[in-house]
Amino acid sequence: MAAQPDFRGPTPAYEDSFGGLISRLLHDVTSLMRNEMALARMELSEAAAGTKRGVAGVAAGGAIAFAGFLALLASAILALAQVMEPWLAALIVGAVVTIVGLIMLMAARKNLSADAFRMERTQRGLRKDAHIAMARRRL
């Protein structure tokens, strides 16, 4: 014999007791906060994983590029040493490279801000929840 379908459905609002409504409200608020925290943890985890991969790639590429850069600097010093004193050639190349490096460091520092970890989806969700709660409170 087939199971009888349940036609009762949700209890109409006028049949709910005050205690039942408060209990359901507390359960819903708890679930909402739990879900928002899970979303925040997920966003932080995604950001950290992406940062970890990026740092590893930058470190490997940077090490190889640095070795090539040192060879180019040595060749620039040797080339300038053909037309001037070797110590002066090394001083000029060293000064130019130091200035370029400082400019690059100042530009890169702007990218290392707290804006990278703003958790926009979590903030948007919390704003939406607050807006809904305020709208229902007015009713």
Q: What residue ranges do the domains of the chain occupy? A: 40-138
φ, ψ (nearest 5 deg) of residue 37: -65, -40
- Copy the structure tokens of residue 124: 């948007």
User: Which residue in 18, 108, 131, 118 sits closest to 54, CA to CA?
Assistant: 108
- Report the greatest alpha carbon distance in the chain: 103
pLDDT (average), residues 50-70: 91
Confidence tier at 83 by pLDDT (50, 70, 90): very high
Segment 86-105, tens digit of pLDDT: 999 999 999 999 999 999 99
Buried b (16+ CB within 10 A) or exposed e, 4-43: eeeeeeeeeeeeeeeeeeeeeeeeeeeeeeeeeeeebeeb
Q: Does the pTM of the predicted model rise above 0.85?
A: no
